[in-house]
Chain A
Amino acid sequence: MATFTVDGKHYEAVEGTNLLQAILSQSLDLPYFCWHPAMGSVGACRQCAVIQYQDAEDERGRLTMACMTDVQDGMIVSVESAHAKDFRASVIEWLMENHPHDCPVCEEGGECHLQDMTVMTGHSVRRYRDKKRTWENQDLGPFIGHEMNRCITCYRCVRFYQDYAGGKDLGAFGSRDRMFFGRVEDGVLESEFAGNLVEVCPTGVFTDKPFAQHYTRKWDLQSAASICPGCSVGCNTFASERYGELRRVHNRYHNDLNKYFICDRGRFGSHFVNSQKRIRHAAIKSDDGVFEYGDVNAALTRALENLRSDDVVGIGSPRASVEANHALRQLVGEENFCRGLSESERVVTDQACSILMKGGFRVPSVSEVEDADVTFVIGEDISNTAPRIALAIRQATRNVTYEMAKTANIPLWQDAGVRGHAQHERNPLYIAASNTTRLDDIAEATVNATSDGVAQIALQIASQISGVSHENAFVQSVAEALLAAERPLLVTGTSSSDSNVLNASAAIAWALRANGKEAALAIVGSEANTFNAVVTCEGVTLSDALTRMADGARAVILENDIYRRAPADVVDRALSGTGGLIALDVLENDTVAKASVVLPAASYAEQTGTFVNYETRAQRFYQVFQPENDILPSWRWLSSLASRIGRTDASWATVDEVTRSALAALPGIDATLEELAPTKDFRIEGDHRIARQTHRYSGRTAMDADVSVHEPKAPVDNETPYSFSMEGQNPGDQNGSVIPYSWSPGWNSNQSIFKFQDEVNGDLLGRSGGKRLFDVPSEPDVELDKEFDFSVTGVTRSATGGLVPFPVHDVFGSDELSAQSWPVAKRSKGPYVLIHPTDASALNAIPGTGVRSEALVGSFEVVLDERVQTGFVGVSVGLNGRTEIPDEGIELVVDPEFEPRQLGDKRVIAKS
Chain B
Amino acid sequence: MSEAALIPALSPEEVAEIEAEISHLPDRQSAAIDALMIVQKHRGWVSDESLSAIASLIGMSTAELDGVATFYNLIYRQPVGRHVISMCDSVSCYVMGADGLAKDLEAKLGIRFGETTADERFTLLPIVCLGACDKAPTMQIDEDLIENVSADKLDDIFEKYA
- List the interface of chain A (C-beta within 8 A of B): 162, 168-175, 183-185, 423-424
Contacts and interface: CB of A to CB of B under 8 A. Distances in A.
9 contacts: A162-B61, A162-B64, A168-B63, A169-B63, A171-B63, A171-B64, A173-B66, A183-B63, A184-B66
A173 B77 CA distance: 12
Contacts of A168: 61-64
B63 A174 contact: no
Contact of B70 (A162, A169, A173): A173
A175 B63 contact: no
Contacts of A172: 67
A399 to B, nearest CB: 21
B152 to A, nearest CB: 35
A184 B51 CA distance: 10
A162 B66 CA distance: 14
A436 to B, nearest CB: 16
B57 to A, nearest CB: 15
Nearest to B66: A184
Interface in B30-65: 48, 51, 61-64
Contacts, number: 34
B146 to A, nearest CB: 27
A424 B26 CA distance: 11
B41 to A, nearest CB: 22
B61 A169 contact: yes
Interface string B1-37: 0000000000000000000000000110000000000
Contacts of B71: 174-175
B70 A184 contact: no
B9 to A, nearest CB: 14
A889 to B, nearest CB: 35
Nearest to A171: B63
- B interface, how many residues as a size bin? 10 to 19
B70 A170 contact: no
Interface in B68-125: 70-71
B11 to A, nearest CB: 22
B67 A173 contact: yes
A729 B16 CA distance: 68
A424 B64 contact: no
Given A162-B63, A168-B63, A170-B63, 11 more contacts: A162-B64, A168-B62, A168-B64, A169-B61, A173-B66, A174-B70, A175-B70, A184-B63, A184-B66, A185-B48, A424-B27
Nearest to A161: B63
Nearest to A424: B27
Nearest to A175: B71
Contact of B61 (A171, A173, A423, A424): A171
A183 B62 CA distance: 9
Contacts of A185: 48
A496 B26 CA distance: 40
A183 B51 CA distance: 14
Contacts of A183: 63
Contacts of A171: 61, 63-64, 66-67
A778 B147 CA distance: 81
A174 B72 CA distance: 8
Nearest to B52: A184
A175 B51 CA distance: 18
Would you list the 10 A-B pairs with minimal beta carbon distance, nearest first? A171-B63, A168-B61, A171-B67, A173-B70, A174-B70, A175-B71, A172-B67, A184-B62, A184-B66, A184-B63
A184 B48 contact: yes
B26 to A, nearest CB: 8
A400 to B, nearest CB: 17
A423 B28 CA distance: 12
A171 B61 CA distance: 9
A711 to B, nearest CB: 52
Contacts of B61: 162, 168-169, 171
B49 to A, nearest CB: 12
A188 to B, nearest CB: 14
Contacts of B27: 423-424
A574 B67 CA distance: 59
B150 to A, nearest CB: 31
Nearest to A182: B63
A732 B62 CA distance: 45
Contacts of A423: 26-27
A131 B71 CA distance: 23
Contacts of A170: 63
A868 B71 CA distance: 39
A185 B77 CA distance: 14
B114 to A, nearest CB: 13
A185 to B, nearest CB: 8
A676 to B, nearest CB: 43
A95 B62 CA distance: 29
Contacts of B66: 171, 173, 184
Most chain B C-beta atoms within 10 Å of own C-beta, residue among A170, A174, A184:
A184
Contacts of B48: 184-185
A170 B62 CA distance: 9
A478 B71 CA distance: 41
A169 B27 CA distance: 21
A730 to B, nearest CB: 40
Nearest to A170: B63
B60 to A, nearest CB: 9
A169 B61 CA distance: 7
B128 to A, nearest CB: 12
A582 B157 CA distance: 91
A184 B55 CA distance: 12
A162 B61 CA distance: 10
A31 B67 CA distance: 29
A423 B48 CA distance: 28
Nearest to B77: A173
A171 B63 CA distance: 5
Nearest to B27: A424
B35 to A, nearest CB: 17
Contacts of B26: 423
A191 to B, nearest CB: 11
Contacts of B63: 162, 168-171, 183-184
A707 to B, nearest CB: 49
A62 to B, nearest CB: 31
A229 to B, nearest CB: 33
A252 to B, nearest CB: 30
Contacts of B70: 173-175
A173 B48 CA distance: 14
A342 B80 CA distance: 63
A130 B26 CA distance: 46
Nearest to B60: A168
A171 B70 CA distance: 11
A172 B61 CA distance: 12
A308 to B, nearest CB: 64
A170 B70 CA distance: 14
A172 B63 CA distance: 8
A809 B61 CA distance: 25
A704 to B, nearest CB: 47
A172 B62 CA distance: 11
A151 to B, nearest CB: 15
A539 B46 CA distance: 68
A423 B29 CA distance: 11
A184 B62 CA distance: 7
A172 B64 CA distance: 8
Nearest to B72: A175
A173 B64 CA distance: 8
A514 to B, nearest CB: 40
A512 B42 CA distance: 57
B101 to A, nearest CB: 25
A178 B139 CA distance: 26
A183 B71 CA distance: 15
A239 B92 CA distance: 62
A729 B105 CA distance: 70
B79 to A, nearest CB: 17
Nearest to B64: A171
Contacts of A184: 48, 51, 62-63, 66
Contacts of B64: 162, 168, 171
